[in-house]
Amino acid sequence: MACAIPKPKERQRFLVEKLAELGVAELIWIQTKYSEGRTPSPAKSQAWAAAGLEQSRGGYVMEIAGPVPIGDVAGWAGLMGADSLSTKLEGFRDPVTLVIGPEGGLSPDEVAACSGTFSVGLTVLRTETAAIVAAGVSLG
């Protein structure tokens, strides 16, 4: 999962803990044109991931990287109006990185730099909500 950094620290923590609970292998913080949040410290991020792991009794701690420019991440961009993620994943066997932009969305150039698009619903979701929904659909 590659995700823009939510601005409030409590939403960053929520995002990391929930993705860890769901069993996401890696979270890559991305920088986008409309990003607002500051990157949490690696130690803080790892502590949040460990807390999520303890809650879920999972087998491994999620890796956390970044921040990196969105252009450095090859993946599918979340975009309203695109094909649903569940439809895009039907019969798809290769791992895919899902790119979740900030609440202001991704610029057209950022979407064009991604290798595809997907949608997780008909409404605009907060960054952390979109990432959690996308993780649930892709891991379910």
Arithmetic mean of pLDDT, 54-83: 88
Evaluate whether the domain defined by 2-139 bears CATH number 3.40.50.170.
Answer: no
Q: Is the pLDDT of residue 42 over 80?
A: yes
Tell me the residue length of the chain. Answer: 140
State the pTM of this model.
0.92
- Identify which of 55, 53, 5 has the alpha carbon closest to the alpha carbon of residue 32: 5
Domain parsing of the chain, residue ranges: 2-139
pLDDT band at 80 (very low <50, low <70, confident <90, very high): confident
What are residue 42's DSSP bridge partners?
Answer: none
The pLDDT > 70 percentage for the chain reads: 99
- Identify which of 26, 16, 10, 17 has the alpha carbon closest to the alpha carbon of residue 138: 26
Q: Is the peptide bond before 67 cis (omega within 30 degrees of 0)?
A: yes
Backbone angles phi, psi at 44, to 5 degrees: -65, -45
